[in-house]
Amino acid sequence: MGNEVRLADLAVRIGARLVGDGEVVVTGISPIEEAGPGQVTFLSNPKYVRYAKDSKASAIIAREVVPGAQPAFLLSDNPYFAFACAVEVFHPPARPAPGVSDKAVVEPSARLGRDVAVSPFVVIQEGAEVGDRTVLFPGVCVGKGVSIGPDCLVYPNVVLYHGVKVGSRVILHAGCVIGSDGFGFAPTPDGYRKIPQVGTVEIEDDVEIGANTTIDRATLGVTRVSRGTKLDNLVQVGHNVVIGRDTVIAALVRDRREHADRQPRHDRRPGGACRPSRGGGRHHAGSEVRCSRHAARLGIPNLVGSSGDAAPDLAPDGGPASEAAGTLPPREAAGGRQTTEGEIGTCSLAGRS
């Protein structure tokens, strides 16, 4: 059971306009074909208007009122965003209480900000910095000289190698590894000689990195994940890659640096989009990054996935329970830039020899 809230108050909190009785109390949110009395649901794709007409929900988040529907309406120009805000109202994030567990290992030279939560079996090595209100869950390893900004969530068993920099409001899901060595070896008559990887990784503000994703440190310089980027689980980012702002990459994608003397497999188009390869066949997981016509329609030029023409979780076709996931709003015009020639974006930069 979620929190109880009046529809009038909910409308204010999610930035929607209420059409209906503001005194009705709701306690949760459910898919449009399942929601009942006391629950809110959402509609962002006209394909599922038929469910709205028969819905027993107390209110529907939508762009416009559906004629013949009985529930109240919470109207928004961006119902999917309003839906996300409503989920947070009913299910506010829970954070551990601030404090440092006596089972954690914190070197004396490490610096912790205000209201930091350090769970059991966390290791924070010398010279590391952890920003205000950041949470380190059990088993996190923060290497020598690592910098973590404020308001971050670092989930269990994340490893941050030495010298890595993490910005503000970053979410690192369980088991991801940031700053391990890039895959660089020099061939010799006696075998392969490891090339020292002496660069670093920088994760900018408002980035989210999925479980068991790995990001290699640069050979020289920086591997960079720019502001607002979202990486799914099981993504591998190679050394010296630069991922542009507000990029979304789906699971099982491998990104690596593009050689200067090669052109990407897809033809580039103005505005950061590209032409998908023909044939329509599925690609092996992790073999290449494909561009998304779906993303181009939505004005999100930096959406990439491991197979098909759209990233799996962002353009589902599995039914009304997830229908709104196919209607992500366009990226704010002032909020980013196009991914450029030397960066990972919508074109095929991985899995090629």
Beta-carbon contacts of 19 under 8 Å, excluding residues fewer than 6 positions away, are 65, 72, 73, 74, 75
Q: What residues pair up with 75 in beta bridges, in sequence order?
A: 17, 62
Which residues have a catalytic role annotated?
239
Give me the numbers of helices (H) and strands (E) for the chain, helices first please. 4, 33
Cβ neighbours around 107 below 10 Å, total: 13
**Matching residue, tokens 């805000």:** 85
For 116, residues 6+ apart whose C-beta sits below 8 A from its C-beta are 98, 100, 130, 131, 132, 133, 134, 135, 136
Alpha-carbon distance of 159 to 149, in angstroms, equals: 16
Tokens 């929190």 label which residue?
Answer: 3
Q: Sign (positive/negative) of CA torsion 175, 178, 184, 185? A: negative
Q: Which of 178, 139, 181, 182 is nearest to 160 (CA)?
A: 178
